[in-house]
Amino acid sequence: MNKDTVMEPNAMQLPSERIVERSDLYSIKSSTVRTPDETPLPTRVKAREVSVFYGAKQALFDVSIDVPERAVTAFIGPSGCGKSTFLRCLNRMNDTIEGCRVTGRIELDGADVYDPQLDVVELRARVGMVFQKPNPFPKSIFENVAYGPRIHGLARNKTELEEIVVGSLKKASLFEEVKDRLHEPGTGLSGGQQQRLCIARAIAVSPEVILMDEPCSALDPIATAKIEELIDELRANYTIVIVTHSMQQAARVSQRTAFFHLGILVEEGPTETIFTGPREKRTQDYITGRFG
């Protein structure tokens, strides 16, 4: 299964028939060290030479990566390495930061995300996001989950809306805990519950991709374990990208891992490869705790 003998992309053997066309990822000029999957999954999100600038300062340098469908991709790296910045490019959340400029190309199902014609509202409905700190709205639990479907007009009537809300809460494994107090404020829940509420809120819009920006960094170990379990379940239906500062978490929940350092995507590959046999020295140093 380990492919670390393959150094030259062109010499790579394609083990599966499921890939219709070979990714162009291996033909572009890049310093990133890549290890493909043994059985590659179809690509959902494709980034090519993405750079991000805050004013005159460059935060991200020519990042190219494919995000596979129905899998969890983890971005790891020391803080300030650009992993969250890159994540926020995927649904254009960086647009909301003044002075932020993105170059390069990001595609969702082949469509350019940064195309001026593209509606960012629709994009964000398709690429949902869960944030570092649980941020429930100051509304009831029900209204929190119903928020997305309401603004997007996803439910034709009240019953449909209730179905969506209950379904989302169930998928977020929160329903059992809150079914008796759906109309109490969401801010009254515990931290872990709040974060699951935020996940339910994101699921309610039925996005195709869910971006998670260090979703467990503000939670205790038990709550973290629950969220991780949930992420694992969600993988069956969603494409998930998770940014985490915890390598154990990346190892536990993800199938593929990308290591960022100083704004550069240093190495990416199957999670197992990254954690057991990284090919880059910097990756090795990081996962063994030399810096971080």
Q: Which value, in Å, is the radius of gyration of the alpha carbons in the chain?
A: 19
| Residue given tokens 């969401």 in the structure block | 186
Query: In 3D, which of 147, 113, 145, 116 has the Cα closest to residue 127?
Result: 113
Q: Contacting other proteins (CB under 8 A), which of 30, 32, 35, 43?
A: 43
Cα(160)–Cα(75) distance, integer angstroms: 36
- The tokens describing 7, both together, are 């150094």
> Alpha helices, DSSP H only, in 235-280?
247-253, 271-276
Q: From CA 136, how far away is CA 130, in angstroms rounded?
A: 11
- Is 69 a binding residue for other proteins by CB under 8 A? The answer is yes
Beta strand segments in 125-188, E? 127-130
Q: Which of 114, 126, 255, 279 binds other proteins (CB under 8 A)?
A: 126
Residue 135 binds to other proteins (criterion: CB under 8 A): yes
Q: Select the span of 7-15, 16-24, 173-181, 245-253 touching other proteins (CB under 8 A).
A: 16-24
Q: Is the Cβ of residue 231 or residue 266 nearer to other proteins in the bound state?
A: 231
Contact with other proteins (CB under 8 A): which of 1, 11, 56, 121? 121
Interacting residue with other proteins among 49, 107, 177, 285 (CB under 8 A): 107
10 Å CB burial of residue 98 (0-12, 13-18, 19+) is exposed
Residue span binding other proteins (CB under 8 A) among the ranges 50-58, 104-112, 172-180, 264-272: 104-112
Q: What are phi and psi of 246, to 5 degrees?
A: -100, 115
Q: How far apart are CA 62 and CA 48, in angstroms?
A: 7
- 108 or 251: CB nearest other proteins: 108
State yes or no: residue 208 binds other proteins (CB under 8 A): yes
Q: Report the interface residues with other proteins, using CB under 8 A.
A: 19-21, 23-24, 42-44, 46, 69-70, 91, 93, 96, 98, 107, 109-110, 119, 121-126, 128-129, 131-133, 135-139, 147-148, 151-154, 198, 201-202, 205-206, 208
